[in-house]
Amino acid sequence: MKKTYQGMPDKSKAKFEVLGKRELLMEVPLPLVEVWEELQAQVEQLTGEAGLRIIGTILENEVTRRVGPPHRPDPVSGAVRWGRQPGFVMFGGQKVSVERPRVRTREGQEVELDSYARLQHDGRRQRAVREGIVAGLTSRNYRRAVHSVIEGYGIEKSSVSREFVQASAAQLQELCEKKLRDLDLVALLIDGIHLGKQVLVVALGIETSGEKHVLGLWQGATENTTVVKELLEDLVARGLDPERRYLFVIDGAKALRAAIERVFGERAEVQRCQIHKRRNVAEHLPKNAQGDYDRRIRNAYALTEYAAAKAELEKIFRQLERINPSAARSLEEGLEETLTVHRLGVGWLLRRTLASTNPIESCLSTVERVARNVKRWREGAQALRWTATGLLEAQKKFRRVKGYRELKLLHRRMNPSLTQQAQVA
């Protein structure tokens, strides 16, 4: 017996339903993908023209609100229409020419249109330029990366450079004016980066919650005590409590240590980077001995107890004295401050973060990546602006430090008096 089966509808056929007493089904076989490829440019062009018409309507609506309908001015209004003038608005990441309406008072003074001013200064343009340059575009090739559906201008090298200067200057101001009073900081990491002939000293803070924050930066010719001292004083002026004990993590530079002592005195707990200490010792040893002693020093720092770690390092020091006095003196210099996290009883997981300057060096590597296309460093705020841009870009990817649950305990150990005051209150 012959059976009839109802086939599945072909998705490549367009169906149209007519409402009414009966239905009419039309099947039109169309190669939809090919049709869209042919019409895409025209559709995009139409979209751009529609956007410009909407912009024109916005401007006309404000004029009508201020003056009244065309040819029927509001007698109560103190302004009148005054023709049109060539202008521009920001559209699709570039400047686009428009005919803007003009309004004057009855005394002949020009009236600025609020909507026109806002359409000219679209913050999305600066954000797009900043994001593009951070991603690796240069001001010279930015034009090639802008895809627009309508003809425009204002994306040449000079215009893009000006936009980036304004955007990065705003970021620098945001970073330098950030209030620190509300941050419950436990540790501060300080390090410097060389850009051209200038040095930018950067401070990174870690809260009791484990969150990391870029706190500030300061510019100088070298990483000297004065530059670091001014950075710390700026942090205090913006809310960092000078009476509170913090853990300062540095790479071992004497200038950093001296500046911390001048601003915070004996209240500061200083942790010298253990990785830098290992590198410094290795540089004094022949290559055939570097691996063995580096392993031994690393294993000593991995010990949990302060006394055991110090005893092992002193043993290595005595051995180095016999075979290489220079390496021994390098290990001995500041040895006690490389064990600060051990003395404070910091657990192994959190100690991996606080025993070295790796967290802030990671930020500075982002700055170097962002600024890699700068061929010539000029005087002034250029280095500050680029550094601030790179630091805030790095901050977007910050995560809580591992072992963050111990940070509150560390804060109580360093500030027992503040903890008691809080409990009494």
* pLDDT tens for each residue of 196-205: 888 999 999 9
State the pLDDT at residue 140.
56
Give the tens place of pLDDT for each residue, 87-137: 877 766 667 778 888 888 888 888 888 887 877 776 555 565 556 666 655
Q: Is the pLDDT of residue 11 over 50?
A: no
Q: Is the pLDDT of residue 280 over 80?
A: yes
Across 37-46, 61-70, 238-247, which has the greatest mean pLDDT? 238-247
State the pLDDT at residue 36.
57
State the pLDDT at residue 250.
94
Across 27-41, 99-113, 168-182, 271-285, which has the greatest mean pLDDT? 271-285
Report DSSP state, residue 377.
P
State the pLDDT at residue 93.
62
State the pLDDT at residue 150.
47
Q: How confident is the model at residue 425 (pLDDT cuts 50, 70, 90)?
A: very low
CA 126 – CA 102 distance, rounded (Å): 27
What 3-state DSSP class applies to 335? Answer: coil
Closest CA to 320 of 300, 355, 290, 299: 290
Range name among 63-77, 141-155, 339-353 with the lowest pLDDT average: 141-155
Question: What is the amino acid identity at position 181?
Answer: R
* 283, burial (CB in 10 Å: exposed 0-12, middle 13-18, buried 19+): exposed
Q: What is the mean pLDDT of the chain?
A: 81
Q: Is the pLDDT of residue 5 over 50?
A: no
Q: Please provide the size of the chain in residues.
A: 425
* 50, burial (CB in 10 Å: exposed 0-12, middle 13-18, buried 19+): exposed
State the pLDDT at residue 72.
82
Range name among 3-7, 354-358, 392-396 with the lowest pLDDT average: 3-7
Q: How confident is the model at residue 149 (pLDDT cuts 50, 70, 90)?
A: very low
Give the tens place of pLDDT for each residue, 208-224: 999 999 999 999 877 78
Whether 401 contacts 212, CB under 8 Å: yes
Whether pTM exceeds 0.85: no
* 377, burial (CB in 10 Å: exposed 0-12, middle 13-18, buried 19+): middle
DSSP string, 44-55: HHHHHHHHHHHH
CA 226 – CA 368 distance, rounded (Å): 24
CA 332 – CA 281 distance, rounded (Å): 10
Calculate mean pLDDT across residues 309-337. Answer: 94
